[in-house]
């Protein structure tokens, strides 16, 4: 496909919606895409092997979720720096070691957003520092068996948390 033109149809605080026209075999194909910053997802693992997750109210889907700490990568920030920042902001923990797990595209049919996944080890307590929109975050610690059960029964149902946690378990063996 050959790109013909692109138009911004909406620009908000967090997202921009663009429509790009492509040409394929003399046919114009408009494709809508959402532009957002890339993000990080962290699997925090304590010395005892327990996993730290957050319960957070998500107004967009009108429910509480159990998920991994995560957030957007700010301008000029490296993914590993964003992971360290988001871990502390949302959980009140810092990590002595962050290990890169993988990078994925969240949904390449309509956005180019990439998610970078990390495992955090050597956790130590600092201070939770939530953003204004993060008002109902509770930090909870789970045994590995509990996390696997919560994935299997669909309680953990955000794609980023499922990918992060299953990748962690696959690498752990």
What is the rounded distance in angstroms from the CA atom of residue 66 to the CA atom of residue 54? 6
This prediction has a pTM of 0.91
CA dist 143 to 11, 83, 114, 138, 146, Å?
42, 22, 29, 17, 5
Is the predicted pLDDT of residue 68 greater than 90, yes or no?
Answer: yes
Residue 59 sits in the same domain as residue 116: yes
Contact 122, 96 (CB under 8 A): yes
**How deeply is 160 buried, as exposed, middle or buried, from its count of CB atoms within 10 A (0-12, 13-18, 19+)?**
middle
Q: How far apart are CA 106 and CA 113, in angstroms?
A: 6
CATH of the domain at 129: 3.90.79.10
Q: Do 131 and 162 share a domain, yes or no?
A: yes
Same domain, 31 and 49: no
Asked if the model's pLDDT at residue 152 lies above 90, the reply is yes
Q: Are residues 15 and 87 in the same domain?
A: no
The alpha-helical segments, DSSP class H, found in the chain are 79-91, 144-152, 159-172
Confidence check: pLDDT of 132 > 90: no
The predicted pLDDT at position 102 comes to 96
pLDDT of 63 over the 80 cut? yes
Q: Is the pLDDT of residue 85 over 80?
A: yes
Question: What does the alpha-carbon distance between residue 37 and residue 82 come to, in Å, rounded to a whole number?
Answer: 12
Mean pLDDT along residues 125-136: 79
Q: Which domain holds residue 139?
A: 39-172
Tens-place pLDDT, residues 32-55 = 999 999 999 999 999 999 999 999
Indicate if 58 and 21 belong to the same structural domain. Answer: no
Mean pLDDT for 148-156 is 97
Say how far apart CA 83 and CA 72 lie, in whole Å.
9
CB contact at 8 A, 164 and 66: no
Residue-level pLDDT at 57: 87
Number of structural domains (the chain) is: 2
DSSP lists the bridge partners of residue 29 as 22
Q: Are residues 13 and 69 in the same domain?
A: no
- Considering the domain architecture, whether residues 7 and 46 belong to the same structural domain is answered as no
The alpha carbon dihedral of 56, 129, 12, 2 has a sign of: negative
Question: What three-state secondary structure class fits 1?
Answer: coil
Give the model's confidence band at 14: pLDDT under 50 very low, under 70 low, under 90 confident, else very high.
confident
Same domain, 64 and 116: yes
- Residue 130 confidence (pLDDT) above 80: no
129 and 96 together in one domain? yes
């Amino acid at each position: 496909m050959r790109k013909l033109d692109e138009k911004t149809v909406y620009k908000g605080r967090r997202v921009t919606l663009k429509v790009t026209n492509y040409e394929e075999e003399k046919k114009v194909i408009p494709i809508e895409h959402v532009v957002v910053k890339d993000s990080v997802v962290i699997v925090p693992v304590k010395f005892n092997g327990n996993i730290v997750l957050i319960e957070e109210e998500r107004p967009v889907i009108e429910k509480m979720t159990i998920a991994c700490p995560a957030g957007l990568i700010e301008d000029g920030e490296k993914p590993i720096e964003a992971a360290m920042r988001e871990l502390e902001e949302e959980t009140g923990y810092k990590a002595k070691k962050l290990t890169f797990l993988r990078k994925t595209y969240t949904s390449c049919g309509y956005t180019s957003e990439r998610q970078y996944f990390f495992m955090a080890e050597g956790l130590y307590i600092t201070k939770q520092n939530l953003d204004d929109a993060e008002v109902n975050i509770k930090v909870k610690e789970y045994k590995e068996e509990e996390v696997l059960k919560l994935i299997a029964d669909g309680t953990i149902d955000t794609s980023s948390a499922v990918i992060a946690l299953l990748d962690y378990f696959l690498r752990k063996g």
